[in-house]
Structures are given as C-alpha cells and as structure tokens.
Amino acid sequence: MRYRGARPIRKEFRRYELITGHVARKTFISVSLELGIHERAVKNIGNHKGERSFRRYVKLEGSYLSKEMTKWNKRA
C-alpha cells in the first residue's frame, strides 16, 4: 500500500503482475534442487558465475530439508 500524505492509496493487481524475473529465477533454482537436479547443472542453466551469487537464489523448504536429513539418518 502506498500513501499520499496520511491518506492510503489502494491499487489492485493480478498476481501475475507482481511476479518478476527475479522471483521466477529464484523459484526455478529452488525447485530444481529439490527435484534432485545436480547443483552444477542448475548453476549453468541459471548462468551463475560464482558460488556467492548462486546462493542468493537458493531457498529450500523445511519439509525438503527434513526429508534429506531422514535419508542421511537412515545411512548412519
């Protein structure tokens, strides 16, 4: 919401109008990693030059992390 002075200005948007290329890129990277695509392949597809810039886009869900820890725990 924006304000003009103390008065709020409301404007409605469709959801697709709010999604940017950055959001789409971040979603693609996170979902690709969750689906098991190798990290190196995702970096190449996303055209990331360095590790630091790649890590900005990675946001893994808690349920995925729990599942991965369960896999590791079964091996031990």
3-state secondary structure of 13: coil
pLDDT(1) > 80: no
Give mean pLDDT, residues 23-38. 88
Annotated domain spans of the chain: 25-76
Q: Please give the pLDDT value at position 57.
A: 80
Q: Please give the pLDDT value at position 15.
A: 85
pLDDT in tens, 50-70: 888 888 888 777 777 787 778
pLDDT in tens, 3-25: 888 888 888 888 888 888 888 88
Tokens linked to 9: 């200005």
* Distance in angstroms (rounded) separating the CA atoms of residues 42 and 29: 7
CB atoms within 10 A of CB 31: 14
CB atoms within 10 A of CB 44: 10
Is the overall model pTM greater than 0.75, yes or no?
no
> Closest Cα to residue 30, out of 76, 71, 53, 64?
64
